[in-house]
Amino acid sequence: MEDIAESVVSKIEPEKFIQAWKYATKDSPHDFLLVDYKCNDVNYMLRKGFDKIIQFTDADTPELDE
């Protein structure tokens, strides 16, 4: 996970990427983390599946922006 985090995402800290990855895939073996590289705003770049945006709270914990 660390190698992928460092090599794939340059706009997000590797630790936050790994947290988001674990958060996005924790509920089902079919869940996945999507990284939207076309999005210019880092706050909307990470998604659980295609439509649920993952954002970080003040405590640096990921949650869905619904």
Cα 33 to Cα 15, 24, 60, distances in angstroms: 15, 5, 18
Q: Please, are residues 9 and 35 in contact by the beta-carbon 8 Å criterion?
A: yes
Beta pairing partners, 55: 63
Query: How much is the average pLDDT of 41-51?
Result: 90
48-66 pLDDT per residue, tens: 999 899 988 776 777 777 5
Look at residue 3 and tell me whether its pLDDT is greater than 80: yes
Cα–Cα distance between 25 and 61 in angstroms, integer?
15
23-34 pLDDT per residue, tens: 999 999 999 999
The reported pLDDT for the residue numbered 18 is 92
Mean pLDDT score across all residues of the chain: 86
Length of the chain: 66
